[in-house]
Amino acid sequence: MSQPDLLSPIQLGPLALPNRVFMAPLTRCRASEGNVPHDLNVEYYSQRASAGLIISEATSVSSRGYGYPNTPGIHTEAQVAGWKKITSGIHSQGGHIYLQLWHVGRISHPAYQEDGTQPVAPSAVKPKGQIFTGTSMEEYVTPRALDAGEIPGIIEEYIHGAKLAKEAGFDGVEIHNANGYLLDQFLRDGTNLRGDNYGGSVQNRARLTLEVTEAVCSLWGADRVGIRFSPSGVFNDMSDSNPLETFGHVLQELNRFGLAYAHITQVTAQDIAHGAEAGVGPKELKPFWKGKIVSAGGFTLESGNKALAEGWADAIAFGVPFIANPDLPERIRRNAPLNKPDEASFYGGTEKGYTDYPFLA
């Protein structure tokens, strides 16, 4: 049997996908009022339907789960209607899309909370840095630690989001357990200082991840559920004293579900420049995980093919290359040059730098 490459087909649960060039979840801050996807978003996603799988931009399961302007949600009927247009556009071209379920936790601000209160987190640990509130840059605030009695309500928000994702026509969902957002805040000991059943030991810190996963799988079936981790990421002021132990444990526990995949980011040069340590990524965590691995994190076509050939990744999620190249799989097939991305238009704005990148002739 020949080694797989980026253009090899892959079976992901019930989905027979044409290639392993996945589109990574990309926050673009272009939803309309009410955090509702609209026609410009339909065009953007439809242009990229040739991806083996599109993983949607991070999408809030709750009105209190936002931390950036103009990001979409999946907790209202209007949002479901907006997403339905996107999933229909992709499916009409034979493509597939998962919705990424998101709650930012402490990476928010009273300006994003309906009642102007503090954002919630596992513990009252203030992140370093500033947040754009929609009008100005402000210091992050100290979040309010969730009471144990509130945690079932958090799980219900994920259940509600997963249910609405099904109504909106998605092919599956990815649980966002990475990049310093709420579930990642519970999992890592730099942000989880709790003394109850959700804090302390790695078993307790992993509890919410496992409970959310079980709840989402009960709605979708595990073979249509993925989960994302960033084991060595420092984005959003994150840290863990033993990432190999922490993420190895949670992956071992997740094996029992039979998920579609684990999406594990590798450490990039940019991460290292911000204080991350190289060493714990998909390659190091593969021994703990029995299922398929999707990896992301600054891959080139060459390094993506190498990861597939070495067997520690089954598909590669590309971010910036998909922003600038809506026909990325075809460019790989034809060994064609890639468009240059316009970084100034990554977040917010109009069709410029969003839907106006050229396709191959």
Determine the pLDDT at residue 134. 85
Determine the pLDDT at residue 141. 96
DSSP secondary structure of 40-86: HHHHHHHHTTTSS-EEEEEEESSTT---STT--BSSSHHHHHHHHHH
Q: Which residues, in sequence order, are CB contacts of 121 under 8 Å at separation 6+?
A: 105, 106, 143, 144, 145, 146, 182, 185, 191
Helical (H) or strand (E) element with 262: strand 261-265
AA letter at 346:
F
Specify whether the CB–CB gap between 101 and 59 falls below 8 A: yes
For the residues 118-140, what does the mean pLDDT come to?
95
261 is catalytic: no
Q: Domain ranges in the chain?
A: 10-345
Annotated active-site residue in 68, 98, 140, 181: 181
How would residue 110 be classed by pLDDT, with cut points 50, 70 and 90? very high
Whether the per-residue pLDDT at 1 is higher than 60: the answer is no
How would residue 120 be classed by pLDDT, with cut points 50, 70 and 90? very high
For the residues 192-202, what does the mean pLDDT come to?
98
**Rounded distance between C-alpha atoms, residue 66 and residue 242, angstroms:** 29
For the residues 321-328, what does the mean pLDDT come to?
98
Collapsing DSSP states into helix, strand and coil, what is residue 140?
Answer: coil
How would residue 270 be classed by pLDDT, with cut points 50, 70 and 90? confident
Alpha helices by DSSP H, the chain: 39-47, 77-91, 151-167, 182-187, 202-205, 207-220, 243-254, 269-273, 282-285, 301-310, 320-324, 328-333
What's the half-sphere exposure (Cβ side, CA atoms, 13 Å) at 275? 7
> Rounded to an integer, what is the distance from CA 237 to the centroid of its chain?
17
Whether the per-residue pLDDT at 188 is higher than 80: the answer is yes
Specify whether the CB–CB gap between 186 and 205 falls below 8 A: yes
**Rounded distance between C-alpha atoms, residue 353 and residue 351, angstroms:** 6
Determine the pLDDT at residue 278. 73
Determine the pLDDT at residue 254. 98
CB atoms under 10 Å from CB of 136, counted, come to 9
Which overall architecture, per CATH, does domain 10-345 show? Alpha-Beta Barrel (3.20)
What token pair was written down for 203? 């078993």
For the residues 293-305, what does the mean pLDDT come to?
96
Whether the per-residue pLDDT at 41 is higher than 80: the answer is yes
What token pair was written down for 116? 């102007």
Q: Tell me the percentage of the chain whose pLDDT exceeds 70.
A: 99
Which letter does DSSP use for residue 189 in this model? T
Q: Which residues, in sequence order, are CB contacts of 256 under 8 Å at separation 6+?
A: none
* pLDDT, tens only, 149-183: 999 999 999 999 999 999 999 999 999 999 999 99
> Rounded to an integer, what is the distance from CA 35 to the centroid of its chain?
17
Specify whether the CB–CB gap between 192 and 105 falls below 8 A: no
**Rounded distance between C-alpha atoms, residue 281 and residue 285, angstroms:** 6
How would residue 54 be classed by pLDDT, with cut points 50, 70 and 90? very high
Burial group, residue 210, by CB count within 10 angstroms (0-12, 13-18, 19+)? middle
Determine the pLDDT at residue 267. 84
| Mean predicted lDDT score pLDDT of the chain | 96
